[in-house]
Amino acid sequence: MIKLHLPTSDEEIRKLRVGDQVMLNGTMITARDAAHHYMVETFIRQEVPDGERETYDKLKSVLSGSVIYHCGPVVKEEGGKYRFVAAGPTTSSREEPYEHLIIREFNVKGIIGKGGMGPKTLEACQKYSAVYFHAVGGAATFTAQAVREVLDVYKLDLGVPEAMWVIRVEDFPVVVTMDAHGDSLHAKVARESQDNLDDLLASF
């Protein structure tokens, strides 16, 4: 088991290979569909508006060397503080049109989700030294136990699941399924499944 502390460096990321089991420790941020769309349309496809400059600078500071978690958490407010009740991964493929741009712009070193991502993200992982981490689905309450503290939240107006929650995690369990060397377990499984299907159909 590899312990990776966030924020991290290109050197540490390039040590990781598909199949490595990793425990993440440090600060990362959640972001789903609305947050990805917001970041790309507001910060990347145009000049950063004056009214958004502070948010951009804060996100840049949090994300540089860190990780985005594709997660729509269940969050409870207690005494003016927030606590994650459930924090399971969401399907990552929906963010494929955006992720390569965000990895480049914000120096993101890792993406956490389920189901894997496509060729644009894999290419960005190689070019900018990043990896895709697969988190266990169906264990949202268990996963939330690794979220030890909610440090901040951005764009709460998008709704709790779509907001960008800045969290501190301890021993957050993930597996590398796309690495910075061009290897993708998801692409391999897809190829092998197609080959098996072709062989099966050819036998009829």
Residues designated catalytic: 36
Q: How far is CA 113 from the centre of its chain?
A: 6
How far apart CA 94 and CA 111 sit, in angstroms, is 13
d(CA 5, CA 44): 28
Q: Are strands 2-6 and 74-78 parallel, antiparallel or unpaired?
A: unpaired
Q: Minimal CA–CA distance to 140: which of 80, 94, 88? A: 88
Cβ–Cβ under 8 Å, residues 4 and 25: yes
